[in-house]
């Protein structure tokens, strides 16, 4: 019995502790006021077996949408450069309210609505109508998925987006 317990403890020790930045947890809402989605270097370095050029996430059920957004951050290389269309809740981060140019986050919820996953996006060109930029409203965005580096860390976002009310 003692040997069994010692063996089990050794196995625990081998599980290891993470050192630097860890991958986002499956169900953590990575949506904070100064946040976009960070991805690990391992995820960035992992070559995808196939590449996606365009994906319309507005057609998906909430269950699949949430899972796909999580998996996009796990295998960002697969989607790098892809045209992504996404429906979700709007969070305004750092924005010029007159033109609408700036950084936002679009969050999606799973079927139980207790798990949220956000993904940052940018609007790079002035909007004709900024009245659609209402915090918490549901919007549809379409832009280019990209991996970028900031402060030695890797993030993903959907860049140069168009935006419509859902």
Partner 1 sequence: MSALEMLPVYLSYPFVQAALVVGVLVALCCSLFGMTLVLNHQSFIGDSLSHVAFGAMAVSGMLQLVDNLVLTLVLTVACSVLLMRKGSTGNAQGDSSLAMLSVGALAVGYLLMNLFSNSANVAGDVCGVLFGSTSILTLTTSDVVISLVLALVVIAFFVISYHKIFLITFDEEYATAIGLPVEPIKMAMGIIMAVVIVISMNLVGALLITALVVFPVRAAMRLHHSYKSVMISSSVISVACVLVGMLVSIIVGTPVGSTIIAVDAVVYLVIAVVSYVRNVR
What residues contact residue 17 under an 8 Å CB cut-off, 6+ apart?
none
Query: In the bound complex, what is the minimum distance in angstroms from residue 87's beta carbon to partner 1?
Result: 13
Structure tokens at 137: 């409203």
Residue of 44, 60, 95, 127 interacting with partner 1 (CB under 8 A): 60
Nearer to partner 1, 55 or 90 (CB): 55
Bridge partners, 108 (sequence order): 117
* Options 62, 81, 126, 165; binder of partner 1; rule CB under 8 A: 62
What gap in Å lies between CA 132 and CA 98, rounded to an integer? Answer: 12
Q: Is 154 helix (H, G, I), strand (E, B) or coil?
A: strand
| Nearer residue to partner 1 within complex by CB, 28 or 137 | 28
The window from 13-21, 80-88, 96-104, 121-129 that contacts partner 1 (CB under 8 A) reads: 13-21
Classify 151 in phi/psi space as left (phi over 0), alpha (psi -120 to 50) or beta.
left
Taking CB under 8 A as the binding criterion, the range among 69-77, 82-90, 95-103, 152-160 that sits at the site for partner 1 is 69-77
H/E stretch holding 44: helix 41-45
Piece in contact with partner 1 (CB under 8 A), picked from 81-89, 93-101, 109-117, 140-148: 109-117
User: Hey, what are 65's tokens?
Assistant: 């949408």
**Taking the CA of residue 63 as centre, how many other CA atoms within 13 Å lie in the half-sphere pointing to its CB?**
0
In the complex with partner 1, the residue whose CB is nearer, 83 or 132, is 83
Name the β-bridge partners of 66: none
Positions that interact with partner 1 (CB under 8 A): 1, 4-5, 8-9, 11-12, 14-18, 22, 25-32, 59-64, 66-68, 70-71, 74, 110-112, 114-116
């Amino acid at each position: 019995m003692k040997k069994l317990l010692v063996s089990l403890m050794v196995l625990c020790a081998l599980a290891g502790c993470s050192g630097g930045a860890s991958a986002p947890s499956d169900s953590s809402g990575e949506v904070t006021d100064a946040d976009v989605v960070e991805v690990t270097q391992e995820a960035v370095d992992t070559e995808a077996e196939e590449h996606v050029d365009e994906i319309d996430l507005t057609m998906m059920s909430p269950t699949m949408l949430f899972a796909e957004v999580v998996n996009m951050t796990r295998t960002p290389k697969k989607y790098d450069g892809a045209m992504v269309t996404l429906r979700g809740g709007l969070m305004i981060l750092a924005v010029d309210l007159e033109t609408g140019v700036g950084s936002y986050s679009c969050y999606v919820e799973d079927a139980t609505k207790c798990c949220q996953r956000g993904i940052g996006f940018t609007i790079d060109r002035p909007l004709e109508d900024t009245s659609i930029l209402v915090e918490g409203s549901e919007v549809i965005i379409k832009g280019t998925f990209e991996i970028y580096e900031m402060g030695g860390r890797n993030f993903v976002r959907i860049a140069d987006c168009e935006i419509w009310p859902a």
